[in-house]
Structure 1
Amino acid sequence: MSIRDDIAALEASIGESIVGQREVIRQLMIGLLANGNLLLEGMPGLAKTRAIKAMSRHLEADFSRIQFTPDLLPSDVTGSEIYHQSESESVFRFNPGPLFANLVLADEINRAPAKVQSALLEAMEERQVTVAGTTHPMPDLFMVLATQNPIEQEGTYPLPEAQLDRFLMHILITYPSVEDEVEVIRLVRREEAAAQHRDEPKPEPLKVSQQSIFDARREIAELHVAEPVERYIADLINATRYPQQLSEDLARWLELGASPRASLALDRCGRTHAWLSGRDYVDPEDIQAVAHDVLRHRLGLSFEAQGEGISADKVIEELLSQIAVP
C-alpha cells in the first residue's frame, strides 16, 4: 500500500465509528498530518471523545486521557520527581505523567485552572517538558486534542489567548442530521450486541504505523506553494490586523488580529488539505477550506460585535469575500 492508501484507510476506519461527522474526521486528519494540536468544541454527547479514541485505536500509538477538573495539579499532567531509596542508593527519578503519550486527550480542558492549563504550553509548543530543571522530550509523534463544552460555564476557566494561539485549529462539532442520528442509534445497538459475545473472536482493527504519518508529513512538506498563494495567506492575516482598510463593518467587529502563527497554520493546513485532495500544489481553495478552523479562535471580537451577535465565522466569511483571490 502507498502512503496515501494508508492515510485513506485510517480516515475510512475512523469513519466507521463516527456517523455524520465526515468533515470533523477530515479536520482531525489535517491536524494529525500537519503536526498540530486541536481544540474541539461542541455540545455534550456529540462524539468529541469518541472521535479521538477512534483515531488512537487505528494508529500504532500510545493514547492517554486526562480528565481536567478544578482540583488538578500541574504535576498530575506532566509527572514529577519521586524519591527512590534502596540499600545501594537514594535518588530522585522522574515519573512521567499522562502527558507523555502520542495522542493526549485533554478532556474538558477549560475546567482546570490556569496553572494546570499552562502545564500544557511547553509541551504543545516546544515538544518538551521541564521538571526540576531537567528537560524531558516528548515522543516524535505527539498531539494534544483538547475538548471543551460551550455551555455550563459555572466552575470553568476560559482559555487565555496565549494558549488558544497554540492550537493549530479550533473545530466546532454540530448536531447530526435526522438520518445520521438514526444511523447512530443502529451503530450503538450493533456495538452493544457485539459486546454480549465476548467469547467470540473479534477481527483485529486496522493499525496504521507511525512511519506512515511521518512519510506523509514529508511529502506534504515538499508540496509546491506558489508566490501568489503565499501572498494570499499574508493578505488574509494582515486584514485581521488592519480591518479598517477593507470595510467599516470589519473595523467595528475586529479588536484583535491574528498572530504570525496564523499564517504558518494556514500554510501547513492548506498544504495538508491539498495533499489529502490528491494534489501536489496548493490552490486558494485549500486556504479557504481551512480558514475558519485556523482563524476562529485567533480573532478578538469587539464588544460591539458580540452585542450584535456577530460570530468569528461571520467575520471570517466577510474577510474571505473582501480579499482578492489570486
Structure 2
Amino acid sequence: MQYRRLGRTDLEVSLICLGSMTWGRQNTEAEGHAQMDLALDRGVNFIDTAEMYSVPVTAETYGRSEEIIGSWLAARGTRDRVIVASKAVGPGSRFGHIRDGRPRLNREHLTRAVEDSLRRLRTDRIDLYQLHWPERSVNSFGKLGYVHVEDEDAIPIAETLGVLGDLVRAGKIRHVGLSNETPWGMMSFARIADQAGLPRPVSVQNAYNLVNRSFEVGCAEVAIREDMGLLAYSPLAGGWLTGKYAGGARPAGARMTEFADYFRRYGGESGQAAIAAYVALAREHGLDPARMALAYVNARRFTTATIVGATTLEQLAANIDSVDLTLGDEVLQGIEAIQARWSNPCP
C-alpha cells in the first residue's frame, strides 16, 4: 500500500480509502465487517462514511453505515489502527428524516450531527469531519454551469468554521474537510481559517473519474497549492468504468441494476460513448478496465486518496490492487484522446 499525507496534518492515509455507502443497503453488517477486515489486512487505514449513508438515502437506513463501522471497531478493537472520516449533510429538501428536517451547517445542527455520529461509530473522536456539500447553492451533483442565487440565506463560512473549531478544541473531531466544493469555496475556507485562527480544511472530497475530470479545471490548482488534497469519490463512475454494464448488461445486485434512477448522470449518449471507449482502450492494452480507471485517479498529483466501494470481497481486492499499476505512455495518450473527444460527459 502507498500512503500520502493528509493536508498539513501528521496523518498518513492509505492511497486507497474504503468507502462505506453500500453497507446497510446493498451489504449486510457481516459483509461490511469482512470488507474492513480485508482492507485493513491489505494496508488500508482510511475509512470514509457519512451520517446520511447508506445510499440510496432513506429514513430506515440513515446512519446505518456508521453503525456498522462502530460495531466493527468495537468487535475488533481496531480504533487506533484506522483513520475514520465522516460527513455532515448540508441543506436539502430530501432529508426530512435528518434532525428537524432542515439540516444546516450551524452550531445547533453540526454539534448534534457530530454527537450522533460519535455514538453510532462508538468512538470518542472523528479523525476527519467533512461538510458533505456547501451551505450555499453551487454547481455540483451533475452540474457544470454555475447559476447564482441572489440573497441566499446561507450560514456564513466563518460561522461554520467557528463551530468546527470548538469541536476540534473539545477533542470530538481532529481535522476538517470539505466535499462537493468549488475553487471559490476551497479558497474562502482556507482564507477565513488562516485569518481567524480556525481549523483549515485538509482535504476536499469531490467526484473525479475518467468521465468527470472537472476537478482539474479550477480545484486542482487549489488542492496542490493549498495542501487540500482530493479524496476522489466515484472513481469508477458508479461502476460503469468496470465494463460490467456493457451491451445493456445488468448484473444481479449491481448498483445500476438496483438503483438506476439514482445515478442518471452516466446514462447520456456522450457519457456512454466515452465509457465504451475507455473500456475498449483498457482491453486493447490487456488491462482490466477498473484497474486502469483507478490507476489513473491514483496517479494524479492532487489526489490524496481514492475512495473505493465494493459489494463483494473480490471487487474490493481488485480495487486495492490498482495501487500496483502504473499506466504506460500509450495508455495515457489514449485516455487524453478520448477526453479530447468527449470532455467531462458525466459531471
- Would the TM-score normalized by the shorter structure come out above 0.5? no
Which TM-score applies when normalising by structure 2?
Answer: 0.29
Which TM-score applies when normalising by structure 1?
Answer: 0.31
More helix by percentage: 1
